[in-house]
Structure 1
Amino acid sequence: MALLVTMVMVLLAALLLSSALRTAWFGELIAGTEVDHQRAFEHAQALLRDAELDIQGLCAGEANRPCRGRDTATLATAAPWFPLRDTKAFVSIHGALSERKPPCLQGICISDGVAPEFWRTPAGELDKMKAVAAHYGEFSGAPSPSTSDPLLAARGWYWVEILPFDLGAPLPSGSEALRPDADSPYVYRITAIAEGRKPATRAVLQSLLVWRKAPP
């Protein structure tokens, strides 16, 4: 009888130990997933800021130093740019990008042919978008993260859609401050995607940039 009780106690102890180990394993798994998601989210935020510098034509830390060409000569080299104050330039850029599938190059896109949530498309279609994306620091002059943060360099992308704005269209009440300047009638929609170490980890952020002069 004593042997039976001992065996039962040992079995219960083994079950408790197994349960504790399983709980600890699940805890580590959840914590690791949360850390991976948080890292991907921070990378996506960094990509949004980098895209804003790219649109404005400023290199990180070096104000008023253009990083991307901004004329038709640039387009002649198959390199697009962001039209800021030249509506004719948009016609040239639109014509060049509309011939591409998807209609993007070096992270610059026109909205025609870009799915609203393209990151939800099949993997093959998303891979096509990644192939025409911009990477962190590629056009902003930000230090390359290849050594300090290789995951951001290898698994982070951004795209900017150039959206012409109808200056004559009415805006909802209270949103007049979002109207772009008359000489730069564009809204820039930025999409940033960062993937983590785990296959299922992905952070997607979007923002809008409106070009407006600073008030005097």
Structure 2
Amino acid sequence: MFIVIVFVMLSMLLALWASRTALFNELVVGNDADYQRAAEAAQALIQDAELDIRGEKSDGSLCIGPPCRAYSGKSDMLQFPGDTQEINPLIMQLEAEPTRCKYGLCARRVGRQDFWNYATEATQVVPSANPNVGEVPLYASSADGVALTAKGIGARYGEFTGAVNTADAGQLNPILTETEAGKGGWYWIEIMRYSDAARSANLVVDAKTSTLALNLDVYVIYRITALAVGRKPGSTVVLQETYARQRLKD
């Protein structure tokens, strides 16, 4: 009888170990799947921002109607600079905004570059005293708080390109359809003046010998930051790229 009881207890321990292992593996797979979903959403937001800069719809055609910026119907809607004379007024207007951003367009950040780690006003800013201009949290702690993810500050997927997230469109990512505060994804496009030295040579030159010839209409560089919040708490993906819009040659 004693031997039987021992074997029963060992069997119970093995069953418990197997169930906990299976649960742990399920958690790992679930977390990884959520991360991959958020990463795909962030990549889609990057591509959507590029279309926004080029003034194209999601199918690559020229944007000549709503919801594109020029046809939004909003009198305060900001446009990408169309010539050199429009660069400085646009940047000055953005710098005057409390968030230094409006409708997804931003002045170059002068504070912390990893702004996505400044979640709310309660998040510690380093240095904590006298934060730099432009230190605005991602999410507002109150309904009237200032935040980078607020409506009219950050841009949502398809907001200015008409891109849709449906199975018919070849994609179905629930993160891209979220519109609730603090959920989904956003992108911000920083407008940065082009270097005068590089402009005179029409080149981007690295510290060694590599050069990249550019054919720019307007001498500005865009830094795109896309952030996607996963379905699980604490799951967030941030992607960032520098984009130079070039004029296509005949």
Q: How does 1:177-192 map to 2 (within 5 A)?
A: 177=212, 179=214, 181=216, 183-192=217-226
TM-score by length of 2: 0.76
- Matched with 2:50 is 52
Q: Give ranges in structure 2 of 5+ residues lacking alignment.
A: 122-136, 140-146, 179-183, 199-203
Question: What SS class does the counterpart of residue 109 from structure 1 fall into?
Answer: strand
Q: Which has the higher helix share?
A: 1
After the TM superposition, list the runs of 4 or more consecutive aligned residues in structure 1 that deviate by more than 4 angstroms. none
Say whether residues 1:176 and 2:211 are aligned partners.
yes
Mapped to 1, the partners of 2:101 and 2:4 lie a distance apart of 71
Mapped to 1, the partners of 2:245 and 2:96 lie a distance apart of 27
Mapped to 2, the partners of 1:82 and 1:191 lie a distance apart of 16
1:44, 1:192 within 8 Å by CA — same for their partners in 2?
A: yes
Say whether residues 1:152 and 2:176 are aligned partners.
yes
1:45, 1:205 within 8 Å by CA — same for their partners in 2?
A: yes
Superposed CA RMSD: 2.4
Q: How does 1:176-215 map to 2 (within 5 A)?
A: 176-177=211-212, 179=214, 181=216, 183-215=217-249
1:126 paired residue among 110, 132, 138: 138
1:180, 1:210 within 8 Å by CA — same for their partners in 2?
A: no
- Matched with 1:165 is 194
Tell me: CA distance 1:178–1:23, structure 2 relative to 1, closer, same or farther (3 Å).
farther
Mapped to 2, the partners of 1:140 and 1:199 lie a distance apart of 29
Percentage identity across aligned positions? 36
1:188, 1:210 within 8 Å by CA — same for their partners in 2?
A: yes
Q: Please report how far the alpha carbon of residue 174 of structure 1 lies from its aligned counterpart in structure 2 after TM superposition.
A: 5.0
1:14-37 per-position Cα deviation (integer Å, ceiling 9, x unaligned): 000000000000000000000000
2:91 paired residue among 69, 91, 94: 94
1:165-197 per-position Cα deviation (integer Å, ceiling 9, x unaligned): 01414722454326452x410110000011111
Mapped to 2, the partners of 1:49 and 1:186 lie a distance apart of 19
Mapped to 1, the partners of 2:205 and 2:9 lie a distance apart of 71
Mapped to 1, the partners of 2:111 and 2:162 lie a distance apart of 27
Find the structure with the greater CA-based Rg. 1
Q: Please report how far the alpha carbon of residue 109 of structure 1 lies from its aligned counterpart in structure 2 after TM superposition.
A: 0.3
Aligned AA for 2:212? A
- Matched with 2:143 is none
TM-score by length of 1: 0.87
1:53-105 per-position Cα deviation (integer Å, ceiling 9, x unaligned): 000111112512242129xxx8x92211211x412212221222111121001
- How many residue pairs get aligned? The number is 208
Q: Please report how far the alpha carbon of residue 113 of structure 1 lies from its aligned counterpart in structure 2 after TM superposition.
A: 4.3
Q: How does 1:1-150 map to 2 (within 5 A)?
A: 3-61=1-59, 63-66=61-64, 67-69=68-70, 77-83=75-81, 85-113=82-110, 115-124=112-121, 125-127=137-139, 128-131=147-150, 132-143=153-164, 148-150=172-174
Mapped to 2, the partners of 1:213 and 1:100 lie a distance apart of 30
Q: Give ranges in structure 1 of 5+ residues lacking alignment.
A: none
2:222, 2:244 within 8 Å by CA — same for their partners in 1?
A: yes
Aligned AA for 2:20? R
